[in-house]
Structure 1
């Protein structure tokens, strides 16, 4: 079928970003809410009814109404898509009550409070007008955070290759309030960014990224929680988290649906019908192989091997010792007032200590030893620590 000049359509991109479909699709309806998400314009020029088309990642909760009676389709369920049923909750507190136990809710609020104690935190939602220069700068920050995050995980980032395309697609939708960008900043710097596209009252997750130096504050959870809070306040009914990372999304989702691959044939000839069947069985066999590999854990083994083979460089983690705060100790060190930019390798370590002590990061005093640049004196109130980096200790 693909060799016969079939056209492949990424369904979400077409629905939320492009807002148009070939003329053979007359209507798309959300079966859960009854909302019509797309309806073909009457001025749409009719297409040739011959040829093939492939629709990728069509959620099973959407119903497609075809304009041509002779169209033949074959449907294959691929991965699952995970949906938050926003219309089931009066507010974000009710949502948390349903999805998290008392200890987990308390922990989530503690992470938020601790983050706000340690940094000057602001929550921004770009929705509507946004300066193009500021938008471009924000996407450069997204790129930087993505590269750092996946370098830390020693995994390949498949989203990065599509970032420029996402950037071009999202901006016009943002201006039309059919996209949102949720940003958390710490001391004026973005540390978490989430992008969504919308169609009617249905919202779709596109990508999210956060600064790995802030891992201890569980930014991924805080970002999701605050993003759901905003959707509830703004009248959205469903939030589709899309496919992948099931072990994370299952915790947040209310409903799980199939993502379908729909093979469409508009050629009634024998050749057209045979092409549709051949394509169907070829893709069905490929999906079976992928599922078998996952059931045997081969995907996890490959990722683990990739992390083990990834190059390791730089100084390893330091030894950290609590020490007494004395003037004699301080005389051996020079102050580093601008340690944030001069010694970035300290960020994660100091953020962890700020979390531990509930202490503002800007009030932490950092000094470097005069005769050994591998040693740092850290003063947090009346508590001091000595960091010693070992350049011969490989990063783990």
Structure 2
């Protein structure tokens, strides 16, 4: 078995530094490579990384017995891992497998290119739409693609991660869902560059005017890639920018002999569209069946995780994230309601020379970005052709968007 990136020395060391300061790591012969920490109050050990990984794989050493009188919890074990012997076959070591998340992967074996693979997972209509959207995107904007992998400087990586963090915040703000990624950002920031240097991770970036608008982090394990954090600028939603980025990542996989792109846990529309295999994530609870305390601890843990999955099946976790987002943002005094926007054809009698032209890079006009980009998607032309003018009429602020083919007026009424 190739070394799982989430059981590597670097990953485990940095996780301990950021999330378990002062806690002693424990290694056991019966489960090589996976290290554990003791739960603060309860009598069991939990794997280093907990649920921050994108899948733990392990083998069991049948000859070792240092699991005696102990209970262990291993988060997020993919079903396809097929550990060499599940605990029921290893002496007094027994275990529970508790279903948690659904996972998705793209298996490229037997395919020669992105187009070849797309033909197997998408209808002709979907493929044509993807190609059409890509052409629109590249015709409307100054587009470039960047892979941060191996020969990447620390300065370039740090700059990319600064943009990545902003994209994550913007995306979750748009979804109105809380995320814990930002709270863990110092961990990711310290981890990603050395992983990239070692060829164990990469960042893919889609740029417009050399500024990232879509980014993803992925880990690499042999001929397998494991997707992790993903975010994009929601203003480009109409252009399916996340799908464009994914197509470029798959092209890279074919060019670099990656046979499996594991999309990891969680169900999202882009995963079902691009993948050809599904699997499950389980949490594994391993325990010494000869010890009554271990049996009781293991059964209570199993009950707890079954309850968590029941609530997850009822979408209670999503509701909790939305409520948490609302609670956090309700305390912000400057949080404004979305403006009311009206779009109509440009009045051709207006003399543009009498109006003030505004800079499209003006951050005070960010609220216009999605409206302009949505209309540009419907009627494509290079955004460099677009000029914006402003004029005020009574309680309305009007913005005139003028290009070679796009000519319309946006009336913006603050709430």
TM-score > 0.5 by shorter chain? yes
State the partner residue of 1:208: 230
**Residue in 1 that maps onto 2:301:** 279
Q: Would the alpha carbon gap of residues 305 and 38 (structure 1) be closer, same or farther in structure 2, given more than 3 Å must change?
A: closer
Instruction: Give the one of 67, 75, 81 matched to 2:103.
Output: 81
Work out whether residues 25 and 65 of structure 1, in 8 Å CA contact, stay in contact via their aligned partners in 2. Answer: no
Question: Residue deviations 1:40-69, cap 9 Å, x none?
Answer: 99xxx9967542221110001113347974
Q: Could you say which residue in structure 2 is the equivalent of 1:115?
A: 137
Counterpart for residue 335 of structure 1: 357
- Tell me, in whole angstroms, the C-alpha distance in 2 between the residues paired with 1:170 and 1:308: 31
What residue in structure 1 maps to residue 387 of structure 2?
365
**1:137-286 alignment runs, 5 A limit:** 137-266=159-288, 268-286=290-308
- Looking at structure 2, the residues matched to 114 and 354 of structure 1 have their Cα atoms a distance apart, in angstroms, of 9
Query: Partner of 2:46 in structure 1?
Result: none
Gaps of 5+ in 2: 14-26, 35-56
RMSD: 3.3
- The DSSP-based 3-state class of the residue aligned with 1:130 is coil
Q: Per-residue deviation at 1:382? A: 5.5
- In structure 2, what is the Cα distance between the partners aligned to 1:278 and 1:341? 53
Give the structure-2-normalised TM-score: 0.78
- 2:81 corresponds to which of 59, 62, 72: 62
Cα distance in 2, alignment partners of residues 369 and 246 from structure 1: 42
Q: CA deviation at 1:97?
A: 0.5
1:124 to 134, 146, 151: 146
CA deviation map 1:127-159 (0-9, x unaligned): 102222222222221121111112122111233
The answer (yes or no) to whether the contact 2:399–2:410 under 8 Å persists in 1 is: yes
TM superposition score normalised by structure 1: 0.81
* Distance in 1 of aligned mates of 2:283 and 2:324: 30
| Counterpart Cα distance in 1 of 2:155 and 2:103 | 34
Cα distance in 1 for partners of 2:79, 2:33 equals: 15
Where does 1:99-110 land on structure 2 (aligned, <5 Å)?
Answer: 99-110=121-132
Task: State the alpha-carbon separation in 2 of the partners of residues 251 and 108 from structure 1.
Answer: 11
1:347 and 2:369 correspond: yes
Measured in 2, the distance between the counterparts of 1:123 and 1:268 equals 57
Distance (whole Å) between structure 1 residues aligned to residue 356 and residue 232 of structure 2: 32
| Aligned-partner Cα distance in 2 for 1:235–1:341 | 42
Q: Name 2:157's counterpart in structure 1.
A: 135
Q: Which residue of 1 aligns with 2:412?
A: 389
Give, in whole Å, the separation in 2 of the partners of 1:53 and 1:304.
32
Secondary structure of residue in 2 paired with 1:241: strand
1:377 maps to which residue?
400
Is contact 2:30-2:67 (8 Å) kept? no
1:338 CA displacement: 4.8
Check the 8 A contact 1:325/1:384 in 2, yes or no: no
Compare 202-211 and 364-373 and name the one that shifted more: 364-373
Structure 1 residues 26 and 269 mapped into 2: Cα distance closer, same or farther (>3 Å)?
A: same
The alpha-carbon distance between structure 1 residues 314 and 307, as it changes in their structure 2 partners (threshold 3 A), is same
Displacement of 1:368 after TM fit? 1.8
Q: Is the 8 A contact 2:179 2:321 kept in 1?
A: no
> Does the Cα contact within 8 Å between 2:143 and 2:207 map onto a contact in 1?
yes
* 2:31 maps to 1:25: yes
Spell out, residue by residue over 1:79-106, the C-alpha distance to the aligned partner (whole angstroms, 9 max, x if none).
Answer: 2111111223211101110111111111
- Cα deviation per residue 1:213-241 (whole Å; 9 max; x = unaligned)? 11110111111222112112211111111
The 10-residue stretch of structure 1 (227-236 or 47-56) with the greater mean CA deviation from structure 2? 47-56
Cα deviation code 1:310-329 (max 9, x no counterpart):
75615614222212445x52
SS for the counterpart of 1:256 is: strand
Gaps of at least 5 residues in structure 1 are 1-10, 29-36
Q: Deviations over 1:291-315 (max 9, x none)?
A: 3x34xxx566667777888756156
In structure 2, distance between residues paired with 1:46 and 1:129: 44
Question: Alignment partner of 1:64: what SS?
Answer: coil
CA positional deviation for 1:169? 2.3
**What secondary structure is seen at the aligned counterpart in 1 of 2:265?**
coil
Residues 39 and 80 of structure 1, relative CA distance in 2, 3 Å threshold: closer
